[in-house]
Structure 1
Amino acid sequence: MFKPTASIFKNHQIAGHYRAIDRAQKCIVPFHFEIQGREYPEPARESNWLRRLSGTRSERHAVVELTPSKVMILWSPEQRNLGEMPLSQIRCIQIGAIRWHATEGLDPRHAFRATIFVLTDAGNFYFANSDMEVLPAIFKFAHQHGIAVEDPLHLIPLLKVGWHVAAKTLHATYKELVAHTGYPEGKV
């Protein structure tokens, strides 16, 4: 099992330019994921009416797109290709969760972020995503393409009951789940 080092959980940064891939090799960086045509999280509706009419978006973010043959890192909305690798280079994907907020009064569904660690021969990449529903989609995609998936926190069975119920369970048992895995107990 891959044990993430504490250093990747520090310096949590926002993807914002062409160096996002380099940063994703050093620390966890938030990325959108697109798997078989569905984006996680779903893009928010554009509030600027002029941009809506023209079909452009004001929000800029990096996207990891999983296709049947390769993984592409894109800078959206321009869809500029920042890098790609064939699926055959991926040794393993580890899925997990990190505590984003530790506040008890907060809706537990917003207290966690999905983590996706892509382990390759060329190096490892560390991504975060605000939509926990990305984890079952990645698990299914990896299974279809023969990529090994590690789930040290046992999130896939937990997410099968629905994210609302799973979030409460995860919130209550997070300390026990992360013990001896390398994931931080506190919020990131």
Structure 2
Amino acid sequence: MFKPMASVFTNHQIAGHFRAIERAKTCIVPFHFEIQGQEYPTPAKETNWLRRISGTRSEKYAMVELTPTKVILWSPEQRNLGEMQLSDIKLIQIGAIRWHATAGLDPRHAFRATIFVVTDAGNYYFANSDMDVLPAIFKFAHRHDIPVEDPLRLMPLLKVGWHAAAKTLHETYAQLCEHTGYPDSKV
């Protein structure tokens, strides 16, 4: 279903920074998400007192920001990598991939949320370590009339919260992803 095509993002940076957008068209790229002021995952509290006072962070990461009118990609250095209008999005598919398959691992840490953004000009693949981003994206998409696909049927499972749903997802993941194209093994 997802076939990389030309980019719909308007590039605002030099060509080297544009590679993040190009990579997101061909493989799943980890990004943090900001949806109307809420960050997923929630940033860790800064431990360096000087950085805390100045309001800066030592940990930097790439960000996808969803606003009421557009999607903005930010580099870890807070450079605008590109923008796309919400009206360009045809569909968002939410899902999960098994990140670690270690037997003794807490199931809450074994999965990553996947967000596939489908447009006429290209498809973009994002991953996020906070599964709570999926209900937030689902609400955001419905508020802005963007269709959402949920082939793994995660939304009913996540309504009880990720902590309660993790064990169920861990036990039933093979059956859920059987006919969806999602890999059963870890990535």
**Same fold at TM > 0.5:** yes
2:75 aligns to what SS in structure 1?
Answer: strand
Which residue does 2:177 correspond to in 1? 178
Distance 1:20 1:110 in 2: 25
- CA offset at residue 4 of structure 1? 7.9
Give the count of matched residue pairs.
175
1:126 aligned partner, one-letter code: Y
Counterpart mapping for 1:143-182 below 5 A: 143-182=142-181
**Are positions 1:120 and 2:113 aligned together?**
no
Distance 2:28 2:140 in 1: 21
Output the amino acid matched with 1:85.
M
Residue in 1 aligned with 2:10?
Answer: none
1:64 corresponds in structure 2 to 64
Describe the shift of the 1:4–1:161 C-alpha distance in structure 2 as closer, same or farther (beyond 3 A).
farther
Residue type of the alignment partner of 1:112: F
Q: Is 2:105 the counterpart of 1:106?
A: yes
For 1:118 and 1:91, the matched residues in 2 are separated by 8
Structure 1: any 5+ residue segments left out of the alignment? 6-16
Q: Measure how far apart 1:51 and its partner are.
A: 1.5
Alignment-derived partner of residue 38 in structure 2: 38
- In the TM superposition, what whole-angstrom CA distance separates every residue of 1:117-163 from its partner, at most 9, and x where no partner exists? 00011100000000000000000000000000000000000000111
Separation of aligned partners in 1, 2:120 and 2:156: 29
For residues 182 and 124 of structure 2, the distance between their equivalents in structure 1, rounded to whole angstroms, comes to 16
SS in 1 for 2:62: strand
Q: TM-score, normalised by structure 1?
A: 0.89
Provide the C-alpha distance between the structure 2 equivalents of 1:22 and 1:43, rounded to a whole number of angstroms: 26
Does the CA contact (< 8 Å) of 2:3 and 2:122 recur in 1?
no
Q: Which 4+ runs in 1 deviate beyond 6 A?
A: none
| 1:63-91 superposed Cα distances (whole Å, 9 cap, x missing partner) | 10101111111124x43211001111001
Identity of aligned residues (%): 75
Could you say what the CA RMSD is over the residues aligned between the two structures, in angstroms? 1.5
Aligned equivalents of 1:29, 1:3: Cα separation in 2: 15
TM superposition shift of 1:53: 2.0
Asked if structure 1 preserves the Cα contact closer than 8 Å seen for 2:2 and 2:123, the reply is no
C-alpha distance in structure 1 between counterparts of 2:62 and 2:96, whole Å: 20
